Chain A
Amino acid sequence: MKTAVFRIWRGNAAGGEFRDYETGVSEGMVVLDAIHHIQATEANDLACRWNCKAGKCGSCSAEVNGMPRLMCMTRLSELPLDKPVTVEPIKAFPLLKDLITDVSWNFRVKKKIKKFKPRPPDAPDGTWRMQQEDIDRVQEFRKCIECFLCQDVCHVLRDHRKYDEFIGPRFLIYVAALEMHPLDTEDRLEELRETQGIGYCNITKCCTKVCPESIHITDNAIIPLKERVVDDYYDPLGWLWKKMRRKKGSGGS
């Protein structure tokens, strides 16, 4: 059987090292299979998060050969196996142990974003009417599996550590999904500018590149939000116009 060497980060916040493990390679195998095999045979205590192993839960984020990836969706057949495959934790959040980081900041950030606030129902039975074409964009954002790979790769968080001033690409698309929701009546533009730091994003599109759901984070969410913030701040007439349009229910998109 063909084999491969995995160079896996072992350690915690106090320190650690890369350790090499060898495993067999079978057809169709993904990096998470290798991690599981190593856990079951050599290193019972090797910590990694995973749930679905189908690219749907966004738990097994890690950096494989330096690239932020879901381990369950990274086939060994796409990696050069003639040298060790490095697997290490994502870098934007504090390390807990081995491949696990403390991502709780993301949950706190989400809680601070103003929640969905729908307009009154359109029909007497308490339901709404929306056309498919008006929700396509929002549905794109709602594909997000919260793997936080976009947060990991965003230099504002990863390098500049602006956790108190910037919410990161994940939550910019979250705000975009709310703002562009045809039923929503809330206004989140002031926070976007004042406390959520949308101005920090300089559109390098790293987030879009690593998104396992292929969401066009920058083009479809962040840039339109930036435009709205600018319009809102510098153009009171435009702001009024948008408010009225939104009230009429034609949505924000």
Chain B
Amino acid sequence: MAEYQRHEHDVLVIGAGGAGLRAAIESAHSGASVGLICKSLLGKAHTVMAEGGIAAALANVDDRDNWKVHFADTMRGGQYVNNWRMAELHAREAPERVRELEAWGAVFDRTKDGRILQRNFGGHKYPRLAHVGDRTGLEMIRTLQDHGIHQGIDVHMEVCVLALLKDGARVSGAFAYDRERGRFRIFRAKAIILATGGIGKAYKITSNSWDCTGDGHALAYHAGAELIDMEYLQFHPTGMVWPPSVRGMLVTEGVRGEGGILTNNDGQRFMFDFIPENYKAQTADNEEEGWRYTQGDKEARRPPELLTRDHVARCIVREIKEGRGTPHGGVYLDISWIKKRLPKAEEHIKRKLPSMYHQFKQLGDVDITREPMEVGPTTHYIMGGVRVDADTQMSSVPGLFAAGECAAGINGANRLGGNSLSDLLVFGKRAGEFAAKFAREQSLGGVDEAVVKKLADEALQPFANGDKDNPYTVQRDLQEMMQHNVGIVREESEMQSALEHLKVLWERTKEVGVTGHRDFNPGWHTALDLKNLLTVSEAITRAALERKESRGAQFREDYPEKSAEFGKVNTIVWKGEDGGMQIRRETIPEMREELKRIIEEMK
């Protein structure tokens, strides 16, 4: 059928954020012909918004740090349901991946002796985050982009994948359209890497870009791959709450790393009130010690503001619920107070947190060097995703790989700040390497033209639907429903009701109509994204229902405690023979003795 544009690559990478770019570079380096699809323009992916830094045990600032401490921190933060092999590989390989960025032109902030500077972050025992002010993600994506464009990679910009194509059990290609003209395209590839990022747009209040619609999660699921840990959705404790236009916009944890404190409307520093048992030994119990920690005193323990994100977010919710919130329904985050401690504090804040200064000044009329910010939790990151082999990143579908946020395992029940950028690099590289290897051992698979025809017809349906329903309205209703029913605090009946709502939303999605032509039509694109958003929403809801306990980012009001039984399992979601979503629990494999010992030693 001549009406489709056709492309062939050894390795096709879907998504061009940190993980996708790193994967594409590695595949190309291995000698594969590589196609890289990005939904937006190159270099605009959600990675640009990462602020705080890349976690890697370089030990430049504190020489007590090493991969073992990083590994133990990651497991503790993830409540020990992480894929321990991924956590191990990540901690071991992150330093080399960061140094490599420097060799490719990244310009990190420096220590006094000229090495890469590292900063404190929640859940990390030592200052570990390599950073560039508060725009580390931009530095990372630009470095990968500027290096990547010289590696012979074919970049397909503003192209969106609608479905993966299969030849028997293995993946053989992707069906896509280009935004500019709305033309369909068929990509054939020996191996495909999903690197599509997160799902934040399933929620009303989110720090995520428009394009975080769970595409990779949904593509993999509908192609028969398993998803794991979908109940673990991270709500970042500090998003902007005012004005409404910017609600949910991220306020970096770096603010707290630099000494920022959280207070309620009584001016009380509430984070000292409840410090979880497994963090007591390493958390300061007084303000003085906490401050000394942020200023690099190696004898001091970290302030409770730097506890893990799941915990901080819940403490903030509690303050707001119990009436101690700010006028706009948040709590205060104050960095300006450091002027009592530091000379030239104003300059220091502007230098260490330039984007935050800019963002609040320009969008919120708040000068963070002089007054506190109002913040509250915002949907930020999904720990769950495509289930992959730890070493190769291949999913349960042969030839289909995943890396970065759309893959799962490394973070367990809660991700530590800074572990995402390092995850993108470590597992992006691994996915690229092993996808290229897989491609070397395969020939191109076939593409079923009848399947393609059906996909094309489905994609064009919204043009035939008239004005029955509006894709933007369905998207908004979904976001409000998920925010309300499957948010930060969950319970059985609300989630059951979410499943009912999802059924209705699936039906409505079939009916949405769009106006205009196929040329760059955002209404049409929104209609096509709905399937992905609904798929991930259902997976989150079913997994959260299945896990009858509270652990990490999953907080069940009806099961507020951790359960030993659930601590031994992951939840797995897959598409059943009848097309319905299936779920099961699976026992976490026994950890290697050596790793168990590391965790014991670091306790």
Contacts and interface: CB of A to CB of B under 8 A. Distances in A.
A33 B363 CA distance: 12
Contact of A56 (B138, B244, B519, B526): B138
Interface string A80-104: 0000000000000000111010011
Contact of B210 (A51, A56, A107, A118): A51
B113 interface: yes
Interface stretch (A1-9, A39-47, A224-232, A238-246): A39-47
Interface residues of B, number: 67
A132 interface: yes
Contacts of B245: 26-30, 33
Contact of A39 (B46, B102, B209, B522): B522
B570 interface: no
A145 interface: yes
Most chain B CB neighbours (cut-off 10 Å) among A57, A98, A129? A57
Interface in A1-36: 12, 26-30, 33
Contacts of B138: 56, 142-143, 145
A100 B522 CA distance: 12
Given A45-B521, A56-B138, A181 B105 contact: yes
A111 B103 CA distance: 19
B109 interface: yes
A44 B470 contact: yes
Interface stretch (B18-26, B144-152, B442-450): B144-152
A204 interface: no
Nearest to A135: B107
A75 B363 contact: yes
A96 B49 contact: no
B135 A143 contact: yes
Given A26-B245, A44-B470, A139-B132, A55 B102 contact: no
Contacts, number: 170
Contacts of A40: 470, 472-473, 476
A40 to B, nearest CB: 4
A53 B515 CA distance: 25
A131 B110 contact: yes
A32 to B, nearest CB: 9
Most chain A CB neighbours (cut-off 10 Å) among B103, B104, B142, B520? B520
Interface string B3-27: 0000000000000000000000000
A13 to B, nearest CB: 11
Given A33-B245, A59-B40, A143-B135, A44 B107 contact: no
A44 B519 contact: no
B359 A55 contact: yes
B114 interface: yes
A27 B470 CA distance: 26
Contacts of B520: 47, 96-98, 100
A227 to B, nearest CB: 22
A146 B43 contact: yes
Contacts of B464: none
A73 B363 CA distance: 7
A98 B180 CA distance: 12
Contacts of B30: none
B340 interface: no
B149 A111 contact: yes
A59 B45 CA distance: 10
Contact of A110 (B105, B133, B146): B146
Contacts of B103: 118, 121, 126
A116 interface: yes
Most chain A CB neighbours (cut-off 10 Å) among B114, B132, B142, B364? B114
B358 to A, nearest CB: 7
A178 B142 CA distance: 13
Given A27-B244, A44-B521, A50 B210 contact: yes
Contact of B113 (A44, A53, A129, A181): A129
A127 B242 contact: no
B25 to A, nearest CB: 13
A244 to B, nearest CB: 22
Contacts of A138: 107
A48 interface: yes
Contact of B243 (A27, A45, A46, A184): A27
A237 interface: no
25 contacts: A27-B244, A30-B245, A39-B522, A40-B470, A44-B472, A45-B523, A51-B210, A53-B210, A55-B358, A55-B359, A56-B135, A56-B138, A57-B209, A59-B41, A59-B44, A96-B520, A97-B519, A98-B520, A126-B99, A127-B116, A129-B115, A132-B109, A143-B135, A146-B43, A181-B107
Given A49-B40, A107-B157, A127-B115, 8 more contacts: A29-B245, A40-B476, A45-B517, A45-B522, A45-B524, A52-B44, A58-B44, A111-B149
Interface of A: 12, 26-30, 33, 39-41, 44-59, 73, 75, 96-98, 100, 103-104, 107, 110-111, 115-116, 118, 121, 126-132, 135, 138-139, 142-143, 145-146, 178, 181, 184
Listed from nearest, the 3 A-B pairs whose CB atoms lie closest are A28-B243, A44-B523, A45-B516
